[in-house]
């Protein structure tokens, strides 16, 4: 009986050691794995090297984040679907996150135009991403209204002739894209609006009144990282901004994401 018990205990102990070894190996692998991110968009993403900012913020949190990007001036979702470079990068597969940013004016247009010219291609991109990266999280990067309203007015559609009107249309369209595709939303435009309201002295726009300044890019990078990270953080990476500005931007970005996870459809 004692020998039998000893044999059973020995087998259990061996099995336990094996299990611990497996867990340890898996943990080590997970710790060393890099988060793979693909950025698809245009100048709103490549201005001031936003992807590099996201990577540096991640590094400050001891997270390994590698990225690839297909970013071309003025490109829409439709044009990306016709672009060999974009398609090739999607087909590389094994992406953890794919950040999708539409042409700046397209989602602000009237509902029927957005349905035909944006939603259709957003869905096609989402489907293509998941065909090659089934576990990827698609994140729609909500952009912001032009400083003085849409620079390409739509006849008989005065709603977007102001910053506020354009921003509300962008918000609605990006959230609808998010929900329709079971994706996540990085609410850069919502955080942008808060900064405009609270700190009108902060320069978010470049001189053309549409593209981001370095401060605007830093805000966008923190919002996107917050959507991926989903936890409070502090980072010493400030993109050369004043400490007070950088801290305010970090907190605004995080609060906008973490206080609106349900609205943004963000879940682990």
Distance between CA 262 and CA 6 in Å, rounded? 54
Q: What is the pLDDT of residue 11?
A: 46
Q: Is residue 125 part of a domain?
A: yes
| CATH code, 165 | 3.40.50.1110
Q: What is the pLDDT of residue 268?
A: 74
| Full DSSP string of 211-262 | SB-HHHHHHHHHHHHHHHH-S----S--TT--HHHHHHHHHHHHHHHHTTTT
Q: Is residue 29 part of a domain?
A: no
Q: Are 72 and 42 in contact (CB under 8 A)?
A: yes
Tell me the C-alpha to C-alpha distance, in Å, between residue 258 and each of 97, 135, 227, 247, 266.
18, 22, 8, 16, 9
pLDDT in tens, the chain (268 residues): 444 443 444 444 444 434 443 433 333 334 457 999 999 999 999 999 999 999 999 999 999 999 999 999 999 999 999 999 999 999 999 999 999 999 999 999 999 999 999 999 999 999 999 999 999 999 999 999 999 999 999 999 999 999 999 999 999 999 999 999 999 999 999 999 999 999 999 999 999 999 999 999 999 999 999 999 999 999 999 999 999 999 999 999 999 999 999 999 998 7
Give how many domains the chain has, as a whole number: 1
Half-sphere exposure of 170 (CA within 13 A, CB side): 32
**Which domain covers residue 231, as residue numbers?**
35-264
Distance between CA 163 and CA 166 in Å, rounded? 5
Q: Is residue 4 part of a domain?
A: no
Q: Is residue 3 part of a domain?
A: no
């Amino acid at each position: 009986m004692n020998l039998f018990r000893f044999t059973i205990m020995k087998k259990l102990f061996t099995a336990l050691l094996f299990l611990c070894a497996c867990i340890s190996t898996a943990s080590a692998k997970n710790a060393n794995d890099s988060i793979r991110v693909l950025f698809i968009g245009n100048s709103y993403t490549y201005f001031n090297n936003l992807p590099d900012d996201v990577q540096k913020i991640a590094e400050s949190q001891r997270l390994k984040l590698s990225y690839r990007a297909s970013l071309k001036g003025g490109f829409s979702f439709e044009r990306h679907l016709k672009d060999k470079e974009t398609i090739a990068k999607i087909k590389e597969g094994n992406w953890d996150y794919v950040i999708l940013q539409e042409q700046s004016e397209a989602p602000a247009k009237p509902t029927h135009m957005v349905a035909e010219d944006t939603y259709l291609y957003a869905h096609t991109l989402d489907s293509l991403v998941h065909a090659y990266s089934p576990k990827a999280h698609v994140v729609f990067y909500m952009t912001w209204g032009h400083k003085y309203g849409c620079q390409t007015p739509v006849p008989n559609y005065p709603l977007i002739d102001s910053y506020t009107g354009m921003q509300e249309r962008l918000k609605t369209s990006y959230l609808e894209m998010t929900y329709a595709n079971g994706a996540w939303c990085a609410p850069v435009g919502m955080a942008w609006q808060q900064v405009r309201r609270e700190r009108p002295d902060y320069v978010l726009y470049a001189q053309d009144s549409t593209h981001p300044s370095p401060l605007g890019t830093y805000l966008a990078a923190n919002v996107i990282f917050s959507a991926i990270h989903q936890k409070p953080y502090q980072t010493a990476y400030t993109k050369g901004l004043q400490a007070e500005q950088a801290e305010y931007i970090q907190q605004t970005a995080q609060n906008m994401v973490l206080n609106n996870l349900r609205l943004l459809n963000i879940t682990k």
